[in-house]
Amino acid sequence: MSSAAQSPARTYRVRTYGCQMNVHDSERLSGLLEAAGYTAAAEGDDADIVVLNTCAVRENADNRLYGNLGHLRPVKDARPGMQIAVGGCLAQKDRGEIVRRAPWVDVVFGTHNVGSLPALLDRARHNAEAQVEIVESLEVFPSTLPAKRDSAYSGWVSISVGCNNTCTFCIVPALRGKEKDRRPGEILAEVQALVDQGVLEVTLLGQNVNSYGSDFGDRGAFADLLRATGRIEGLERVRFTSPHPAMFTDDVIAAMAETPAVCHQLHMPLQSGSDDVLKRMRRAYRQERYLGIIDRVRAAMPDAAITTDIIVGFPGETEEDFQQTLEVVRRARFASAFTFQYSKRPGTPAAEMDGQLPKEVVQERYIRLTALQDEISWDENRELVGRRVELLVAAGEGSKDAARGRLSGRARDGRLVHFTAAGGVRPGDVVETVVTQAAPHHLVADGPLLSHRRTRAGDASEAGTRPTTPGVSLGMPQVGVPAPLPVLSSGC
């Protein structure tokens, strides 16, 4: 038994930076710590264990890490026995450098050995010295580990980890490794376990979800998985993120259109509208293929909300290249876009490319792009005024409207809606209302509710409880686990 299990008073806090995969990993870290006997620190209290789950993709990620570590040093000096652990992508990249620059850190662990955290904390405490453990390949699939979920009504379910692409701006494949897929039956078992606890919505998560199945030779596996997930009784909403345009196939569009539980929301990263820039990015698609996917999605689902990622100022981007991006944005009519100014990421091929653009050029293009996208988003949202929407009431979004008696929720297409709340509406409940006002980044519904359905997820939110999953053992037969989807013959 770990020493933590003998000290139930020891508390923890996990701070998460970066992408949805990190958010999901943090749920696993919390589950592992609770299984080892730790308890979550109360809001506002200092914790005995602070875990920083880092990102290496965001700009100035290292500066942010060492800044946070600097703020934690005097806290630790004042609390004998406090421990600090650093994990995630930046830990995988920097390894022993973290302890060299911040010797008050107790544990450094990587993206492939999340499950080692409790043992490393015990070892650091016993040996009174820092423990650095970075492994080069995945030993245990993260979803086999216990999890403490952040939400009572919505859950992340990882279908794969890693990435087989080689985009020149991205360091994720080097830090997360090659793609590894879970078997369908294990995924469906985890979704079923969440639904059994009252969860209404799941998001299937992977670096490239539509290449799912490459590990076991089934090109149609992701479409089959969408359909199978959507058939789980009690599950009302299925989302996924993120697909890759180069591998996006029409069977996925059909599965989205034909499976009622699958939301008509698609996040499809564009990155650039210029074929020349896409080539330098090593993105295996071009403008016309991308727009063709958008057209086919809208033909099958006219109400689909499509969002994207765009990088401005990639090395060598000319004004003509940028104009091509603006043209794709005009034609695609995205509901919203995550827009980024290119900045060098050490360890990526793009960081060494010729044609690095001056900051002021990148900034000026970024301003033009966001202005155009805001205009389009606002136009698209105005089209929804007067429309009836079903909302899954959310926690922690739109708190600025609380003084007006508003709560917030997500429509089935993913849009954020601030609505006038009736008494007794809780996060996790489902309401219907009518949109009365539009803004570029949200909708407003100030009329009376048309309906309000209380849910088990709402009960759990009200009680302050969260779903927990004990993990699923790979390769072991389990009672009640749905059989894996059949492996179908693949076409060309």
- Which residue's entry shows tokens 């806290």? 75
How many CB atoms are closer than 10 A to CB 80?
6
Higher pLDDT, 343 or 308: 308
How many CB atoms are closer than 10 A to CB 416?
17
d(CA 234, CA 245): 31
Per-residue pLDDT reduced to its tens digit, 174-212:
777 788 899 999 999 999 999 999 999 999 998 899 999
Q: Which class for 371: exposed (0-12), middle (13-18), buried (19 or more C-beta within 10 A)?
A: exposed
Q: What is the pLDDT of residue 482?
A: 30
Mean per-residue pLDDT for 355-382?
97
Q: How confident is the model at residue 139 (pLDDT cuts 50, 70, 90)?
A: low
Mean per-residue pLDDT for 112-128?
89
CA distances from 82 to 32, 85, 393 (A): 18, 10, 37
Q: How confident is the model at residue 347 (pLDDT cuts 50, 70, 90)?
A: confident
Q: Which of 116-125, 129-138, 390-399, 403-412 has the lowest mean pLDDT?
A: 390-399
Q: What is the pLDDT of residue 471?
A: 61
Tell me: pLDDT of 227 over 80: yes
Tell me: pLDDT of 473 over 90: no
Q: How confident is the model at residue 236 (pLDDT cuts 50, 70, 90)?
A: very high
- Work out the mean pLDDT of the chain and round it to a whole number: 87
Q: What is the pLDDT of residue 142?
A: 65
Tell me: pLDDT of 116 over 60: yes
Tell me: pLDDT of 492 over 50: no
Mean per-residue pLDDT for 469-485?
38
Structure tokens, 291: 């727009």
Q: What is the pLDDT of residue 342?
A: 94
Q: What is the pLDDT of residue 455?
A: 96
| Reported pTM | 0.80
User: Starting at the edge strand that comes first in sequence, how are the strands of the sheet with 388-393 ordered?
Assistant: 437-438, 443-445, 416-420, 406-411, 388-393, 430-434, 451-453
Q: Which of 53-57, 155-159, 201-205, 360-364 has the lowest mean pLDDT?
A: 53-57
Tell me: pLDDT of 334 over 90: yes
Per-residue pLDDT reduced to its tens digit, 371-430:
999 999 999 999 999 999 999 999 865 444 555 679 999 999 999 999 998 789 999 999
Structure tokens, 120: 């490393």
Tell me: pLDDT of 472 over 60: no
Dihedral of alpha carbons 331, 416, 61, 138, sign = negative
Higher pLDDT, 433 or 30: 433
Structure tokens, 161: 């980890």
Q: What is the pLDDT of residue 486?
A: 29
Q: What is the pLDDT of residue 262?
A: 98
Q: How confident is the model at residue 274 (pLDDT cuts 50, 70, 90)?
A: very high
Residue (of 343, 356, 345, 24) closest to 173 by Cα position? 345
Structure tokens, 146: 């216990």
Tell me: pLDDT of 172 over 70: yes
Residue 338 β-bridge partners: 309
The percentage of residues in the chain with a pLDDT greater than 90, rounded to a whole number, is: 62
Per-residue pLDDT reduced to its tens digit, 55-108:
877 666 777 888 999 999 999 999 989 999 998 888 888 888 899 999 999 999
Tell me: pLDDT of 135 over 50: yes
Tell me: pLDDT of 475 over 50: no
How many CA atoms within 13 Å lie on the side-chain side of 88? 30
Mean per-residue pLDDT for 13-39?
85
Mean per-residue pLDDT for 436-448?
96
Tell me: pLDDT of 3 over 70: no
Q: How confident is the model at residue 144 (pLDDT cuts 50, 70, 90)?
A: low
Per-residue pLDDT reduced to its tens digit, 237-258:
999 998 999 999 999 999 999 9
Tell me: pLDDT of 16 over 90: no
d(CA 49, CA 125): 11
The percentage of residues in the chain with a pLDDT greater than 70, rounded to a whole number, is: 89
The full set of domains in the chain, from first to last, is: 4-133 (3.40.50.12160), 142-382 (3.80.30.20), 388-469 (2.40.50)
